[in-house]
Amino acid sequence: MKFASPLESHVLFAIGPVPISQPVATTWGIMAFLTIGSWLLTRRLALRPTRAQAALELVVETVAGQIRETMEAEPQRYLPLIGTLFLFLLVANWSSLIPGVEPPTATLETDAALALIVFGATLWFGVRALGPRAYLATFARPSILLAPLNIVELFTRSFSLMVRLFGNVMSGVFMIGVVLSLAGLLVPIPLMALEMLTGAVQAYIFGALAMVFIGSAISENGARPPSKQESPA
Amino acid sequence: MRIDWWTLALQAVNVLILVWLLGRFLFRPVMDAIAARQASAQALLDEAREAKDRAQAEAQALKTQNDGFVADAAARRAEIRTEAEAERQRLLAQARLEADAVVEQGHAAIDAERGRVAAQWREKAANLAASMAGTLLARLPPEQTVQAMVDALKARLGDLSEADRRSLAAAGPVTVATPAPLTADLQTQVARALAEILPDTATPIFAVDPDLIAGAELRTPHAVVRNSWRADLDAMVESLNEDDHARIA
């Protein structure tokens, strides 16, 4: 049995000059699923919530609480980005449970796009919160001698964000594929359960690290927010 | 390894679009619903707090009103107690005055009864003294006692003024009353003595009156000259009664 390289994307079709690869199509499906599901769940919100509304509010309020605790800021401005990253990663990682579907996060381009968005959001929110000069000044803290290292860290931590997600998800998918090809139908089930756990943890870690990076950017103290520390997975 | 830049760009755009879509259809509606519920809960809390404040204000007003009622009731009780005490004092004084009057009346009645009893006893004592004197006089010869009394009667008549003697003689027939019958000699002596003192009078009529005890009385239709022990005893009893009345008064 021959496996496709996880480092290469399979182009399904092209729209003019733009090739549409399999991860992009899967992402569109996930987008449709999340958008339609959100619309269905939120079209009849009421003061006295149903069970579905209460569960939805619990998820949203939990993410908002995490933002409030980690970034020490009001969550309204950051909730769409952080919440979307978490939900998208969770659904994308768990999409591997559907037969024939490869999670888009198992490809390097998707993870790079997500890391690139976090990188841009860090700059955007940092400049917006502190102003260009003050934001640039945060790189000279605690010493001007550390400015090069802080600038390098700005890129490397986004790069590590990408590599961490890609490595975890891709390795899980690859391992399940190998075991499935060797042992049959039921043997990979424990590995698939483990992959669910790994996918949820990776979604949480990616969202948490995004919060830490943006929180450090909007904090006048510079590189790190006062209460949270970056923790690699 | 080869990076598909189209895929990378499309995925970045996809995620940004998804951020907008979920912000539009998920996070904003849910956060708005949560905010609306919090606002509603806050409104309910504010309303409850206002209701609580109103209730406390009303309770305070009622307490103040109740305190006023209590104070008013206490003042009225004190006023009624004062009035009752004054009325009690007035009734007590009136009762004391009435009791004093009753006691005074009782004392007066007791004194009057005592005087009446004393008068009765004096009368009885006079009667007893008269009876004892009569008994003792009965042992003496009548001539001696009658003679002495006739002499006393003559002296008594002699003490009268001429005008009195004249009016006494003109009053009519004269009766000489004695406690015992007079002998003929004594009657003659008496008639002669009366003729000397009262020359214009007729012959006297002699009568017997044992109540006189001793002595004699000269009686006309309009006047009486008393000169007997009975008259003396009556005078003494009368004098005692007058003294007693004067002492009580």
Best of B1, B3, B10, B16 to mutate (most A CBs within 10 Å, chain A): B10
Nearest C-alpha neighbor of B190 from the set B179, B200, B178: B178
pLDDT at A228: 45
Nearest C-alpha neighbor of A9 from the set B1, B186, B247: B1
The mean per-residue pLDDT over the stretch A114-123 comes to 94
The secondary structure of residue B204, as a DSSP letter, is P
Q: Minimum mean pLDDT among A199-208, A212-221, B35-44, B125-134: which range?
A: B125-134
Nearest chain B CA: its distance from A143 CA (Å): 35
pLDDT band of residue B94 (cuts 50, 70, 90) is: very high
Is some CB atom of chain A closer than 8 A to the CB atom of B41? Answer: no
Subunit contact A42:B29, Cβ cutoff 8 A: yes
Subunit contact A38:B21, Cβ cutoff 8 A: yes
- Asked if pLDDT for residue A36 goes beyond 90, the answer is yes
pLDDT band of residue B244 (cuts 50, 70, 90) is: low
| Distance in angstroms (rounded) separating the CA atoms of residues B225 and B234 | 14
Nearest chain A CA: its distance from B36 CA (Å): 7
Nearest C-alpha neighbor of B27 from the set A82, A73, A205, A120: A82
Subunit contact A27:B11, Cβ cutoff 8 A: yes
Which among B6, B27, B31 is the nearest to A19, CB-wise? B6
- Asked if pLDDT for residue A167 goes beyond 50, the answer is yes
Subunit contact B14:A28, Cβ cutoff 8 A: yes
pLDDT band of residue B235 (cuts 50, 70, 90) is: confident
In order of A40, A106, B5, B20, B83, the CA distances from B16 in angstroms are: 21, 19, 16, 6, 95
**High-pLDDT (> 70) share of chain A, %:** 90
pLDDT at A126: 92
Subunit contact B11:A110, Cβ cutoff 8 A: yes
Subunit contact B25:A38, Cβ cutoff 8 A: yes
- pLDDT tens sequence across B109-149: 998 898 889 888 888 887 787 778 778 877 777 667 767 77
| Distance in angstroms (rounded) separating the CA atoms of residues A48 and A3 | 52
Is some CB atom of chain B closer than 8 A to the CB atom of A110? Answer: yes
Nearest C-alpha neighbor of A229 from the set A62, A215, A123: A215
Neighbouring C-alpha atoms within 13 Å toward the C-beta of A113: 28
- Interface size A-B, in CB pairs within 8 Å, comes to 127
pLDDT at B39: 92
Q: Is A81 left (phi over 0), alpha (psi -120 to 50) or beta?
A: alpha
pLDDT band of residue A14 (cuts 50, 70, 90) is: confident
The secondary structure of residue A44, as a DSSP letter, is T
pLDDT band of residue A5 (cuts 50, 70, 90) is: low
Note whether A151 and A123 are within 8 A (CB): no
Which among A80, A85, A107 is the nearest to B27, CB-wise? A80
Interface of A with B in 3-22 (CB under 8 A): 7-9, 18-21
pLDDT band of residue B77 (cuts 50, 70, 90) is: very high
Burial class (CB in 10 A: 0-12, 13-18, 19+), B210: exposed
Nearest C-alpha neighbor of A214 from the set A89, A80, A106: A80
Task: Give me A170's structure tokens.
Answer: 């891709």
- Assign A232 to helix, strand or coil: coil
The mean per-residue pLDDT over the stretch A210-230 comes to 69
Subunit contact A35:B25, Cβ cutoff 8 A: yes
Is some CB atom of chain A closer than 8 A to the CB atom of B35? Answer: no
Burial class (CB in 10 A: 0-12, 13-18, 19+), B161: exposed
Task: Give me B140's structure tokens.
Answer: 């003496």
| Distance in angstroms (rounded) separating the CA atoms of residues A18 and A34 | 25
- How many other C-beta atoms lie within 10 A of the C-beta of residue B57? 10
| Distance in angstroms (rounded) separating the CA atoms of residues A85 and B22 | 10
| Distance in angstroms (rounded) separating the CA atoms of residues B202 and B178 | 18
- Asked if pLDDT for residue B230 goes beyond 90, the answer is no
Higher pLDDT, residue B50 or A171? B50
pLDDT at A24: 93
Residue that is written with structure tokens 């919090």 in the block:
B38
Beta-ladder partners of B226: B217
Q: Minimum mean pLDDT among A10-24, A205-219, B220-234: which range?
A: B220-234
Nearest C-alpha neighbor of A95 from the set A31, A13, A185: A31
pLDDT at A233: 42
Is some CB atom of chain B closer than 8 A to the CB atom of A66? Answer: no
- pLDDT tens sequence across B197-214: 777 777 888 888 888 877
pLDDT at A87: 95
Subunit contact A19:B22, Cβ cutoff 8 A: no
pLDDT at A114: 95
pLDDT at B108: 92
pLDDT at B1: 64
Burial class (CB in 10 A: 0-12, 13-18, 19+), B184: exposed
Is some CB atom of chain B closer than 8 A to the CB atom of A41? Answer: yes
Please tell me the pTM assigned to this model. Answer: 0.60
| Distance in angstroms (rounded) separating the CA atoms of residues B220 and A67 | 156
Is some CB atom of chain A closer than 8 A to the CB atom of B33? Answer: yes
Does ipTM top 0.90?
no
Per the prediction, chain B carries an average pLDDT of 86
pLDDT at A1: 44
The secondary structure of residue B200, as a DSSP letter, is T
Nearest C-alpha neighbor of A20 from the set B158, B11, B231: B11
Subunit contact B8:A85, Cβ cutoff 8 A: no
Best of A20, A26, A27 to mutate (most B CBs within 10 Å, chain B): A27
Per the prediction, chain A carries an average pLDDT of 86
Query: Which positions in chain A touch B37 (Cβ < 8 Å)?
Result: 47, 49
pLDDT at A227: 47
Nearest C-alpha neighbor of B153 from the set B165, B163, B141: B165
pLDDT at A230: 43
Cα dihedral value B103, B108, B113, B119, nearest 10: 160
Subunit contact A80:B22, Cβ cutoff 8 A: yes
Note whether B214 and B229 are within 8 A (CB): yes
**CA geometry: angle at B100 spanning B94 and B106, to 5°?**
140
Query: Which positions in chain A touch B28 (Cβ < 8 Å)?
Result: 80
**CA geometry: angle at A79 spanning A122 and B11, to 5°?**
65
| Distance in angstroms (rounded) separating the CA atoms of residues B178 and B218 | 9
| Distance in angstroms (rounded) separating the CA atoms of residues B246 and B162 | 36
Angle between helices A79-94 and A22-42 (to 10 degrees): 120
If you compute the radius of gyration of chain A from its CA atoms, what whole number of angstroms results? 20
pLDDT band of residue B16 (cuts 50, 70, 90) is: very high
Question: Domain-by-domain residue ranges, chain B?
Answer: 1-138, 140-246
pLDDT at B87: 95
**High-pLDDT (> 70) share of chain B, %:** 96
What phi and psi values does residue B218 have, to the nearest 5 degrees?
-110, 120
Q: Is A45 left (phi over 0), alpha (psi -120 to 50) or beta?
A: beta
Mean pLDDT: which of A92-106, A134-148, B46-60, B115-129 is highest?
Answer: B46-60
pLDDT at B142: 65
- pLDDT tens sequence across A172-191: 888 887 887 887 777 778 88
Is some CB atom of chain B closer than 8 A to the CB atom of A35? Answer: yes
Note whether A97 and A192 are within 8 A (CB): yes
- How many other C-beta atoms lie within 10 A of the C-beta of residue A173? 20
pLDDT at A6: 61
| Distance in angstroms (rounded) separating the CA atoms of residues A112 and A124 | 18
